[in-house]
Structure 1
Amino acid sequence: MHLSAATWPDVRDCEAELAVVPVGSTEQHGPHAPLGTDVLTAEAIADAGCERLEREVVRAPAIPIGVAEEHRQFPGTMWVSADTFRDYVREAVASLATHGFDRVVLVNGHGGNVDALREVGARLSRDGDAYAVPFTWFDAVGDHSSEMGHGGPLETSLLQALEPDLVREDRLEAASEGAADGWGEWVSHVNLAYDSTEFAENGVVGDPAAGDEKRGEELLELAGDALAQLLEAVAERDVSRPDRR
């Protein structure tokens, strides 16, 4: 059940305890991919995971702005502080829990959100407001995960499968030529760069031309399967807190 399309009596009569909240970002993804890439991919994978379940699950609206100040030099990018983001996500999940949806998976599409979402899940779970865990889709696509960049082959492929009209195919060559090979500038296992413009001329990391629609369909399948498996585990898990040792 999608909350945005449901009425309050629909929600009242729903017997689900399990909810999914897509979390993304509104930020640059190079000259070829839309600012909403992380929201679109998180929503699509959230839906794919929910569709695989036999049990009822509530799908909340997406959270569209995340921790993305590292892309601030690129026009259109939006961001909030990590503190604001954590508070917003925590309170949004807590509101779901008041209606009985107190097992929540946060389906994430943006690398900058990862640490904050893990902290949010821990705080909610330890305080007893809800049991919440984050799921970042590009960590759950097998061998493909090693090629995750930014606006690179994985995100471009997934968009080509989901929303092909949003990919500016005529800009792929330029996107590839201006892309960085990896994220950051590393010395002695330390990333010296804070903002993406320090190492990626056009904001792209990885070769977007190495993706295609077929690969995107495979990514959606892998991530959807992995999410469904996680959702089942969260639904069945004993979420009571361990006793003090």
Structure 2
Amino acid sequence: MDELTRSRGGTGRPDTVSRHWPDRGGLAPATRIPGGELPEVAAAADFAVLPVGAVEWHGPHLPLGTDLILAEGFAGESAVTGPGPRGVLFPAVPYAACPGQTRPWPGTVSIRPEVAVGYLSDVIEGIVAAGFPRLLVVNGHDANMSTVRAAMEWVSGRRQASLLLVNWFQLVTPAETTEIYGDPSARGHGGAYETSGMLGFDPGAVRLDAVTDLPPKPKLPVGHPYVLVESRPNPWEGWSGYLSLASESAGRRVRELAGPRLREIVAAWVAAPLPDPPGDTPFVAPAGDAPLSASAGSSS
């Protein structure tokens, strides 16, 4: 008899695994797991998933929950139904630290960065402590990259954990967005790329007729990576971009590119061994190895 269809204890009830993953893979919602079954579910799961987004102004054309909708949407694509990795999907974190460029605009709900790091640390540690040493965080809000990373670093020093952070925005390359949209910049806040992403998941929530193109401030004329934070770029209305380039077909293309890449990352991650537990002492070299501080052939 197949492992996933056997009955538990001869009662005629399906076992925990087949009940929560009837298609042998995919995502089981954490909120639907009875507490008494949590140990079995955690032992059978390959990973847990936590979407993180924001409630933030994205212009008159996009909903306030754009980042949340996209994080939840791509988190849902981290494991497909059918044989494959089994995940447990936790409720999304909706509120985040938001940049000064969007905080004055209506509907933005921002929490202080230090509060965000502490809150995320507690959420991440709680999921790990529940029996999920592998946690995938799918991000939809760029400012979360720093706060989530800080929280992950904290938790990894307290719990045995493998914590993976993926930003959906980065799963499609700038070269590919240029191929989709042409030369005009499409990757800004509320721009054609993000708007198309929303159209790919929830086209009814987008109002393309509410705005016209607002060309974004040009990037610096250099080819090197950098991070530039400014109080309010100009032009700027809490968003900017060439909305005339956004479309449902572009949104479908974004999902076609990003979804399989996220699943490829997850498959490689769950196939790798877990790290050793953290400790209170530094690494000790095995017996017979030279001390880490020794320098061969050195002289005073």
Give the alignment's TM-score, normalised by structure 1: 0.86
Superposed, 1:86-105 pairs within 5 Å as 86-105=117-136
2:38 is matched with 11
Distance of 1:124 and 1:190 partners within structure 2: 26
2:151 is matched with 120
Residue 204 of structure 2 corresponds to residue 151 of structure 1: no
Which protein is richer in helix relative to its size? 1
Deviation at 1:192?
A: 6.4
2:250 is matched with 215
Matched position secondary structure for 2:92: coil
- Deviations 1:96-122, CA, capped at 9 Å, x for gaps: 112211111110001111122222222
Deviation at 1:138?
A: 0.8
1:131 is matched with 162
1:243 is matched with 283
1:228 is matched with 263
Q: 164-173 or 200-209, which moves further after superposition? A: 200-209
Amino acid across the alignment from 1:36: G
Deviation at 1:28?
A: 0.6
Matched position secondary structure for 2:195: helix
Residue 196 of structure 2 corresponds to residue 161 of structure 1: no
Gaps of 5+ in 1: none
Q: 113-122 or 143-152, which moves further after superposition? A: 143-152
Answer whether contact 1:94 1:130 (CA < 8 A) is retained.
no
Distance of 1:93 and 1:24 partners within structure 2: 15
Answer whether contact 1:182 1:206 (CA < 8 A) is retained.
no
Answer whether contact 1:144 1:154 (CA < 8 A) is retained.
no
1:68 is matched with 98
Residue 81 of structure 2 corresponds to residue 41 of structure 1: no
Deviation at 1:69?
A: 3.6
Distance of 2:48 and 2:54 partners within structure 1: 20
Give the alignment's TM-score, normalised by structure 2: 0.71
1:203 is matched with 238
Amino acid across the alignment from 2:56: E
Answer whether contact 2:39 2:131 (CA < 8 A) is retained.
no
Matched position secondary structure for 1:44: helix
Distance of 2:218 and 2:78 partners within structure 1: 29
**Please, which of 204, 209, 221 is the counterpart of residue 170 of structure 1?**
209
Gaps of 5+ in 2: 1-27, 179-185, 277-281, 285-291, 293-300
Residue 83 of structure 2 corresponds to residue 83 of structure 1: no
Identity %: 27
Answer whether contact 2:49 2:137 (CA < 8 A) is retained.
yes
1:54 is matched with 84
Residue 54 of structure 2 corresponds to residue 20 of structure 1: no
Amino acid across the alignment from 1:233: A
Amino acid across the alignment from 1:243: F
**Structure 1 residues 6 and 181: alpha-carbon distance in aligned structure 2, compared to 1, 3 A threshold:** farther
Answer whether contact 1:48 1:220 (CA < 8 A) is retained.
no
**Please, which of 56, 60, 64 is the counterpart of residue 31 of structure 1?**
60
Deviation at 1:182?
A: 4.7
Higher relative contact order (CA 8 A, sep 6+): 1
Answer whether contact 1:118 1:133 (CA < 8 A) is retained.
no
Distance of 1:95 and 1:190 partners within structure 2: 32
Amino acid across the alignment from 1:140: L
- Structure number, greater radius of gyration: 2
Matched position secondary structure for 2:236: coil
Distance of 1:55 and 1:118 partners within structure 2: 24
**Structure 1 residues 64 and 164: alpha-carbon distance in aligned structure 2, compared to 1, 3 A threshold:** same
Distance of 2:143 and 2:227 partners within structure 1: 17
